[in-house]
Amino acid sequence: MPHDHDHDHDEGSELSPIALRVKALESLLVEKGYVEPEALDTLIETYETKIGPRNGARVVAKAWSDPKYKAWLLADATAAIASLGYTGRQGEHMVTVENTPGTHNLVVCTLCSCYPWSVLGLPPVWYKAPPYRSRAVIDPRGVLAEFGLTLPDDTAISVWDSTAEIRYLVLPMRPQGTEGWSAEKLSQLVTRDSMIGTGIALKPGATS
C-alpha cells in the first residue's frame, strides 16, 4: 500500500509509545489480511463513540445537572443508564453508588474482572490484576493512596464487589465551582477512575 513516508514520520513523532505500538499492530493485521481496514475502523469508532468512559461521563454529568435523573439513577441504574442508549455487554444489571463527603466508594471484582463495558469501555489492565483485586478489599485506603488519592481519616470507604449479576458505577461528587455548567461541559470533568472509585472528578480548569 503506497504511502508518504514523510507524512507518516511526522504523524508518528506526535504519538505516544503505546499509540505507536497500536498503529504498528493495526498495520500488520491489515497487511497480513487478518482484518479489513473498514472493519477495524468500525470497531475503533464503536469503542470511541458508543462504548467507553465517555458514556459513563455523560451519565454522571446528567445526574449532576438533573436531580430527577440522579434520583432515578440511584434507584434503578440499569433503566436510567439504558434511557441514554447505553446498554449491552456487562451492563445489564447496574447499581450506582454515590460518593459523599463522609463516604467514598470503590469498585472491584475479586473473582474475575466483571466490568460495565457499556459505560466504562474496556477494563484497565490493573483492574484485572490479582494485586488490585485482593488488596482493594484488604487495604482500600492504601490502594487509593497508590493511585494518588488520599482521603481524610474520617471518610469511610465502602468497597463494592462486582459479580456476574451486578456491576457498579460510582457517582463521584460534583466539583465545586461548576454551578451553571452544561451537562456536556461537566462530562469533561468525569474520568474513568472516578467512576471506579480509584480517583475523583477533575477540578475546573484541569481539562484542556
Please name the helix (run of DSSP H) or strand (run of DSSP E) that holds residue 94, with its range, or none. Answer: strand 94-98
Check: CB of residue 58 under 8 Å from CB of residue 83: no
Q: Of the residues 65, 109, 118, 194, which is catalytic? A: 109
118 is catalytic: no
The active-site residue out of 13, 16, 65, 112 is: 112
Q: Choose the catalytic residue: 114, 162, 187, 194.
A: 114
The Cα–Cα gap between 154 and 163 comes to 29
Name, in order, each residue with C-beta under 8 angstroms of 129's C-beta and a sequence gap of 6 or more.
Answer: none
Please state, in angstroms and rounded to a whole number, the distance separating the CA atoms of residues 199 and 162.
18
Is 27 a residue of the active site? Answer: no
Active-site residue, 113 included? yes
Q: Which of 16, 27, 65, 113 is catalytic?
A: 113
Contact residues for 178 (Cβ-Cβ < 8 A; gap 6+): 64, 185, 186, 189, 204
Catalytic annotation, residues: 109, 112-114
